[in-house]
Amino acid sequence: MITQGTAAARILAVLALLMLACGREQPAGGGPATVQVTGAWARPAKTGDTGAVYFVIENHGGQDDTLTGVTSPVAESVEVHQSTMSGNVAHMAPAQSVAVPAGKSVKFEPGGYHVMLVKLKQDLVLGEPFPVTLQFKRSGDISVQVAVRQQQG
């Protein structure tokens, strides 16, 4: 009886794994999120100052994901913030997490969501990229290189 039970459990486990594997191949059918981070950039900034990183998060998967944090070796502290305007007044508030719904993209851009680099440990120099790691609830850590350039437009 015990042996049979264990065998049954094993079969169930294998079946479960197979189902997961199937899910992975069918992102539209509710599989894990497939998150991509593109176009990361920051303006040049000086050591000790504050910097901002912008990018686009695209969720090509079938499941919602959430950005829960960002890290980078270039700053003492890294926070996700959102600028908002009420009339002509600019407000800024830390965002604990940012939802990235399935099939949608979320833009981090000037005047909106941005990653705040608090007290830079090094200069952000034009043409010298630096790394950041975005932490997602479902997709885990995604590291990207941030281009240092002047803002366009």
Partner 1 sequence: MKRPLILAGSATLLAIVVAVGATLAVLSKQPRQIYGTLIDDPAPAADFSVQATTGETVKLSDFRGKAVALFFGYTSCPDVCPLTMSTLAQAKKKLGTEGQDLQVLFMTVDPERDTPAIMKRYVTQYDPSFIGLIPTETELEQITKTYGIFYEKEPGSTATGYLMAHTASTIVLDRQGNVRLILNPAMESSEMASDLRVVLE
Question: Per residue in 31-59, is it b (16+ CB within 10 Å) or e — as a string?
Answer: bbbbbebeebbbeebeeeeebbbbbebbb
Residue with tokens 């997961």: 20
Helix (H) or strand (E) holding 37: strand 35-42
Is 118 a binding residue for partner 1 by CB under 8 A? The answer is yes
Which phi and psi (to 5°) does residue 111 adopt? Answer: 90, 0
Helix (H) or strand (E) holding 10: helix 2-25
Q: Which stretch binds partner 1 (CB under 8 A): 5-13, 48-56, 61-69, 97-105?
A: 48-56
Could you tell me the smallest distance in angstroms from the CB atom of residue 44 to partner 1?
Answer: 7
93 vs 62: CA distance, rounded Å:
30
Could you tell me the smallest distance in angstroms from the CB atom of residue 56 to partner 1?
Answer: 16
What residues numbered 53-112 form the site for partner 1, per CB under 8 A?
76-77, 79, 81, 83, 85, 88-94, 110-111
Is 37 or 114 the residue whose CB approaches partner 1 more closely? 114
Residue with tokens 């719904």: 101
Is 43 a binding residue for partner 1 by CB under 8 A? The answer is yes
Q: Which stretch binds partner 1 (CB under 8 A): 15-23, 27-35, 44-52, 59-67?
A: 44-52
Q: Which residues bind partner 1 (CB under 8 A)?
A: 43-46, 48-52, 76-77, 79, 81, 83, 85, 88-94, 110-111, 114, 116-119, 150-151, 153
